[in-house]
Amino acid sequence: MLRNSLIGSLRQIKPILCSQSLRSLSNGANSGLTTIEVDDKSGIATLSMNLPPVNTLTLNLMHDLIDSINQIECNKSRGLILTSSNDKVFSAGLDLKELYKPDQERLKEFWTIFQDLWLALHLCGIPTAAAINGHAPAAGCIMATACEYRVMLPDFVIGVHATRFSFLVSKWMMLSYQSVLPRRIVERALNQGKLFSTQEALEVGLIDEVAGSKKEALAQCAAFIGTFDKANPIARTLTKRMCRDSDVTELLRDRAGDLRACVDYINTPLFQEGLSAHLEGLKEKK
């Protein structure tokens, strides 16, 4: 029963790509904002975000990420490592320009694809790890927490600072944070809008390891993926999805409601004013 419902849920978000032969993983259908490299020896795929300057999650980047995750999964790679081609920023989170004075139809599309991306990462059947080689604020952090393991380079920040610009997070996003950190830490950090330094993130358990370089981070992620070698892949996938079922169900049971609530909130003067000040702050820091 539970297994059927998990598989059913997955079908809703994975309608594509699995019929293709994909050992050489080209990004033909997408905008080329991601690259996939598969290590021939280990069979592990490294998925890099490549949208200068700071990998903001635009519609196109989110589309490409979902497409790439599907390709990697369908190609039966042994694992997926999410990282960035930028050596200072993993991802700056959602594209704030899409949220400021938005076109309503485009905003709906934007929020829906953000939900899709979270589901694709959260339900990815193969082992996933994030090599966080730069800053990872807000949705950058949420992508990392949707992975099963996180290795981060020193002197960067990670966290959800949404309250600083009046963002009210949905429950499914909070659950994502809470699947990695204790509830009391999540509550405090979310309310403070806290961005953790690499060292603080390690101390609270938001990340699993620190690495000295991107190369080391990728190797540490690969070593983590290797720890599943003795597990039967199908049993592992179903077990992972069972563990994540309640978080995912929170979103799947009322995606349309979440969309409505977020769109309504984004349109409020409270949010628009907070965002305007935040965007000004980004400009002024130059």
Ligand X SMILES: CCCCCCC/C=C/C(=O)SCCNC(=O)CCNC(=O)[C@H](O)C(C)(C)COP(=O)(O)OP(=O)(O)OC[C@H]1O[C@@H](n2cnc3c(N)ncnc32)[C@H](O)[C@@H]1OP(=O)(O)O
Q: Is 173 in the site for ligand X (CB under 6 A)?
A: yes
68 close to 116: Cβ distance less than 8 angstroms: no
- Min. distance of Cβ 165 from ligand X in angstroms? 6
56 is a site residue for ligand X (CB under 6 A):
yes
Following DSSP, what letter does each residue of 170-205 receive, concatenated? -HHHHHHHHTTS-HHHHHHHHHHT-EEEHHHHHHHT
In angstroms, the CA 267 to CA 263 distance is 6
d(CA 210, CA 215): 12
Min CB(86)–ligand X separation in Å: 8
Strands 157-159, 195-197: pairing kind: antiparallel
Q: Which of residues 58-87 bind ligand X (CB under 6 A)?
A: none
**C-beta of 167: minimal distance to ligand X in Å?**
6
Q: Give the Cα separation of 135 and 140 in Å (integer).
A: 8
Choose the stretch contacting ligand X; rule: CB under 6 A; options: 28-36, 48-56, 65-73, 240-248: 48-56
The residue (of 153 and 162) whose beta carbon lies closer to ligand X is 162
CA atoms of 160 and 59, how far apart (whole Å): 20
| Cross-strand partners of 209 | 151
DSSP 3-state of 37: strand
Residue 284 · residue 276 · CB < 8 Å: no
Write each residue from 85 to 104 as x if it is in contact with ligand X (CB under 6 A), else as -, in one continuous string: ---xx--xxxxxx-------
Cα Dmax for the chain: 55
Q: Pattern 104-143, binding to ligand X, x per CB under 6 A?
A: -------------------------------x-xxx--x-
Within 216-275, the residues that bind ligand X by CB under 6 A are none
Residue 17: φ, ψ to 5°: 75, -25
Count of residues touching ligand X (by CB under 6 A) = 26
Site string for ligand X, 139-168 (x = CB under 6 A): x--x-----------------x-x----x-
Identify the residue among 10, 59, 169, 210 touching ligand X (CB under 6 A): 169
Among residues 23, 53, 184, 256, the one that binds ligand X under rule CB under 6 A: 53
Min separation Cβ 236 and ligand X, Å: 26
Residue type, 47: L
176 binds ligand X (CB under 6 A): yes
Closest CA to 10 of 84, 62, 70: 70
Which residues here bind ligand X, judged by CB under 6 A?
53-54, 56, 88-89, 92-97, 135, 137-139, 142, 160, 162, 167, 169, 173-174, 176-177, 282-283
